[in-house]
Chain A
């Protein structure tokens, strides 16, 4: 493992300055559960590490009165898993935050790190996309806001410029009769990386019979997590039934552009994109309606 400088920042400005000064050799540090492993295995070479965990703004959790949430980028999965109000407002996010590693990893792993690591298979990102999250970025040129679906641009690559960091995530208020869910497929039940993942967020009409809006996102079936853009317009106003769920599955399959690697095959991933989308939708529907028609994996009981 190579040697590097370690700079713990206590403010956003300090962190931005330190990252900018370090240039391409500088990396922000959240929990380090991705970064430290990558350095140890020689997959990433880093000269300077800027620790963000002591910056108060990045640890904030706020709930605006009009709904929604503001979550600092360095908030850990464990904190969110234990946060009663966050879980009440966004129960679907728990699907991701409790999947990332085990309890020990969750105690360190941040949502900001999950997003900025930009793994196509990250379990947090499709769910953030389904939740229409907006990413607040600070940098040498000032602050900006990026829709999360536009944040990742390739495996391990994001829109962040040198010196930029993620400050917080803005979750918009959920409408009534809203439900969201994330599911992944792994050969093992733990200690595995998503072969494919799907997140679904639905808003139903007053009767709970028709989709008012649908947002679908996929993981591990392309170079970045993908928003299924066609799903919104095609499914809004449609009745909730097997045919519309099957349509959702086929829209997801059409968007998926997977590769074959040691974790899965193109055929498998393409197929799973559809299967997981339908299952995640069923789970999201149960949550929107307060019913229980499927098991924890979205399979009809």
Chain B
């Protein structure tokens, strides 16, 4: 890593020409005309079609699996079960979106002793056609011994609850519990004397909240094709947020050296955190090996995606906050119980850091519990854990502000964090744009306009997300005509090919159109962390910036040699190079520089000063008092982008995060029966919003440059999903007088609360006292 990573500001001083413009994306045409290749589009000659047998039960012991009839079916080339995977040690490794035991990862791929959720994979087949593979699944006999199911954190932690993971003992603030339970871990951050803080308060609000399991809902189902050659060399086509993460997960699970695995990315139809964990890829490799090295293609159905890939955690949350008469917070306390699903690793750790992140408060305690239940293993989902806890915190803050008769934005400004203040985990903030976002929201036409119409309400909420840097590597080759080939290996989910190429163009002083970005496979460049944590435009973009600096330096050196002068005598002028009377444009300089030897540079980075992102949002809703249906009438999102490299893509991220947040707030939830069977495993009944359910989402980009990036970039992908549920809950309160205590705030829940108020009882979904 070069010297640009010094802890103080690394912002470049020169005016920017490319960053901040809105050029056409390099992958746009292919995606619009349908030629772009996605995971399921990979069709190799002779490929076998695979299918996965999944448990119909949410919790059962596998007594026996008989695959003989399936294996004997003509056309079936391989059948595998957990026995075909190498025995996994209980060794903790970095695996995809978490650090966890290899045993858990392997057991999630193919269940060994027990199935832990409906949809848990138990076997897989590869056959000469999909129909044969499907028929073969029906021939696999699995003898299950049913076990009692445990579906919620409350049930899992109740005394005498059935133990889901045998022998699991909680790690509680660094100490192992003596007794096994369904608690995987408990973490606390705290500062100050909590009860003394609450004693200083004039108003204390103490509330409990519940949120349900929701899925990322990416449009492209998981799909892969893999070949395992007789010599053990593996090639995998994957639709993934990180090809290197796929590689390392396969290497660990199947015990193959990293260099023997090549992962080739396809285009990706969304991931939002859900396409980091591998589900199909290791199975395809093992099937291919067993089937004599034929390629094996595996594609999930939508129902498999919903039952068997990671959604994000449902949660039980308690939020207690106190404020003095001047509206200053005196104490804040959160207890978060997050449902990890069948294996440890809910996003409760991240949620603790989100919790009171926008609020400066000297006295704080946040407790997080990671709880095992018989649901699919949760996976990362856009600002993992943030929406759940912010729903609670922003609802309570709204109540506090109302109780003290303070405008909700004013209340947030009075308590808002700025540089030097502490996050809930007691790390100080660098320069951040929280107050700027709140003030910008205050100034929007939306917030200043009066609320009109019957049954309407307005709500505001804010949120913070820490963002991430991570490792990136990239290479660039200067071509003799002055064009530049840029090679990265960061999955482009949201337009990052363009925003990374723009940073190289900016750094090199050329136009965006002169740079051709490509996304290579795992053999093309070195390690790249996943596209996740809002890191790619920040970190891979930084690598691109450095590539530009290196190319320019090398071109200067070669020109100096050609011109027989010292490099210091050469200056840059409007993209070209000049010295005294000599001046060449960039293309001519490239021709000279590449004359005798090719020019290629490579960069590796791991930038650390990624800078937190903030968002403030305002929503107007209309609640139909007869049906409980909530309609989003108007929505404005303000977000600090640090610097918006490609403002259209920043706006797209902001709108996308809000759209997902609206779905989470209003209708999305996993609905299970008492046996733990998912009842709504389709996009018909898992109700994500469609375009008909959303107004145009208005965006305001705030730019408080991140001093930790040459162009001031902050991650923009995630923080936008944190505030919507809280903002909508607050708007529903204004429209109806009801405080909703559970997500989703769906028509039956809102109606129930409305009817209960009419009848003088408490409806389901209404908020409960802590």
Could you give, for residues 652-690 of chain B, a 1 whenever the CB lies within 8 Å of some chain A CB and a 0 otherwise? 000000000000001100010000000110011101011
Who on chain B is nearest to A265 by CB? Answer: B748
Is A195 within 8 A of B685, CB to CB?
Answer: no
Who on chain A is nearest to B679 by CB? Answer: A262
Chain A 165-214 residues near chain B, CB threshold 8 A? 185, 187-193, 195
Check A188/B680 contact, CB under 8 A, given A265-B752, A268-B628, A271-B751. no
Is B747 within 8 A of A195, CB to CB?
Answer: yes
Shortest distance from the beta carbon of B625 to any chain A beta carbon, whole Å: 10
Who on chain A is nearest to B746 by CB? Answer: A187
Contacts of A265 in B (CB 8 A): 748, 752
Contacts of B666 in A (CB 8 A): 187
Contacts of B687 in A (CB 8 A): 187-188, 192
Contacts of A87 in B (CB 8 A): none
Is A189 within 8 A of B679, CB to CB?
Answer: no
List 18 additional A-B contacts (Cβ < 8 Å) besides A185-B629, A265-B748: A185-B747, A187-B629, A187-B666, A188-B667, A188-B687, A189-B693, A190-B693, A193-B685, A195-B747, A262-B680, A263-B685, A264-B748, A265-B752, A267-B752, A267-B755, A268-B752, A271-B755, A272-B627
B692 at the interface (CB under 8 A from A): yes
Is B626 within 8 A of A188, CB to CB?
Answer: no
Residue of B627, B666, B671, B684 with most chain A CB atoms under a 10 A cut-off: B627
Is B747 within 8 A of A268, CB to CB?
Answer: yes
A66 at the interface (CB under 8 A from B): no
Is A262 within 8 A of B671, CB to CB?
Answer: yes
C-alpha spacing A190/B693, complex, angstroms: 8
Shortest distance from the beta carbon of B134 to any chain A beta carbon, whole Å: 8
Across chains A and B, which 4 residue pairs bring their CB atoms closest together, nearest first?
A189-B692, A262-B679, A262-B671, A268-B748
C-alpha spacing A192/B747, complex, angstroms: 13
Is A262 within 8 A of B685, CB to CB?
Answer: yes
Chain A 122-158 residues near chain B, CB threshold 8 A? none
Who on chain B is nearest to A297 by CB? Answer: B624
Q: List 20 A-B contacts (CB under 8 A).
A: A1-B131, A185-B747, A187-B666, A187-B667, A187-B687, A188-B690, A188-B692, A188-B693, A189-B692, A190-B690, A193-B684, A262-B671, A262-B679, A262-B685, A264-B748, A265-B748, A268-B628, A268-B748, A271-B751, A271-B755
Who on chain A is nearest to B670 by CB? Answer: A262
Which interface class (under 10, 10 to 19, 20 to 34, 35 or more) fits B? 20 to 34
Check A275/B626 contact, CB under 8 A, given A191-B684, A267-B755, A268-B748. yes
A261 at the interface (CB under 8 A from B): yes
Is B627 within 8 A of A185, CB to CB?
Answer: yes
Contacts of B683 in A (CB 8 A): 191
C-alpha spacing A191/B684, complex, angstroms: 7
Shortest distance from the beta carbon of B742 to any chain A beta carbon, whole Å: 14
Shortest distance from the beta carbon of B453 to any chain A beta carbon, whole Å: 12
Chain B 128-158 residues near chain A, CB threshold 8 A? 131
Check A189/B690 contact, CB under 8 A, given A261-B679, A267-B752. yes
Interface of B is mostly: loop
Could you give, for residues 717-756 of chain B, a 1 whenever the CB lies within 8 Å of some chain A CB and a 0 otherwise? 0000000000000000000000000000011100110010
Chain B 602-646 residues near chain A, CB threshold 8 A? 624, 626-629
Contacts of B746 in A (CB 8 A): 187
C-alpha spacing A185/B679, complex, angstroms: 20
C-alpha spacing A187/B628, complex, angstroms: 9
C-alpha spacing A61/B175, complex, angstroms: 78
Is B679 within 8 A of A267, CB to CB?
Answer: no
Is A267 within 8 A of B692, CB to CB?
Answer: no
Check A267/B748 contact, CB under 8 A, given A187-B629, A192-B687, A262-B679. yes
C-alpha spacing A193/B671, complex, angstroms: 16
Shortest distance from the beta carbon of A89 to any chain B beta carbon, whole Å: 30
Contacts of B684 in A (CB 8 A): 191-193
Shortest distance from the beta carbon of B484 to any chain A beta carbon, whole Å: 44
Contacts of A261 in B (CB 8 A): 679
Contacts of A188 in B (CB 8 A): 667, 687, 689-690, 692-693
C-alpha spacing A265/B624, complex, angstroms: 17
C-alpha spacing A262/B626, complex, angstroms: 20
C-alpha spacing A134/B671, complex, angstroms: 39
Contacts of A268 in B (CB 8 A): 628, 747-748, 751-752
C-alpha spacing A271/B629, complex, angstroms: 13
Contacts of A191 in B (CB 8 A): 683-684, 690, 692
Shortest distance from the beta carbon of A272 to any chain B beta carbon, whole Å: 6
Contacts of A267 in B (CB 8 A): 748, 751-752, 755
Shortest distance from the beta carbon of B750 to any chain A beta carbon, whole Å: 10
C-alpha spacing A264/B624, complex, angstroms: 16
Contacts of B629 in A (CB 8 A): 185, 187
C-alpha spacing A262/B306, complex, angstroms: 15
Check A275/B627 contact, CB under 8 A, given A190-B692, A195-B747, A265-B752. yes
Contacts of A185 in B (CB 8 A): 627, 629, 747
Who on chain B is nearest to A268 by CB? Answer: B748
Residue of A262, A272, A275 with most chain B CB atoms under a 10 A cut-off: A262
Residue of A187, A195, A265 with most chain B CB atoms under a 10 A cut-off: A187
Who on chain B is nearest to A185 by CB? Answer: B627
Contacts of B628 in A (CB 8 A): 268
Who on chain A is nearest to B685 by CB? Answer: A262
Who on chain B is nearest to A263 by CB? Answer: B685
Could you give, for residues 271-287 of chain A, a 1 whenever the CB lies within 8 Å of some chain B CB and a 0 otherwise? 11001000000000000
Contacts of A1 in B (CB 8 A): 131
Shortest distance from the beta carbon of A188 to any chain B beta carbon, whole Å: 5
C-alpha spacing A263/B692, complex, angstroms: 19
Contacts of A195 in B (CB 8 A): 747
Contacts of B626 in A (CB 8 A): 275
Shortest distance from the beta carbon of A40 to any chain B beta carbon, whole Å: 10
Shortest distance from the beta carbon of A44 to any chain B beta carbon, whole Å: 16
Who on chain A is nearest to B680 by CB? Answer: A262
C-alpha spacing A78/B131, complex, angstroms: 34
Shortest distance from the beta carbon of B384 to any chain A beta carbon, whole Å: 26
C-alpha spacing A192/B692, complex, angstroms: 12
C-alpha spacing A190/B689, complex, angstroms: 9
Who on chain B is nearest to A37 by CB? Answer: B684
C-alpha spacing A193/B682, complex, angstroms: 13
Partner among B671, B747, B755 whose Cβ is within 8 Å of the Cβ of A187: B747
C-alpha spacing A187/B746, complex, angstroms: 7
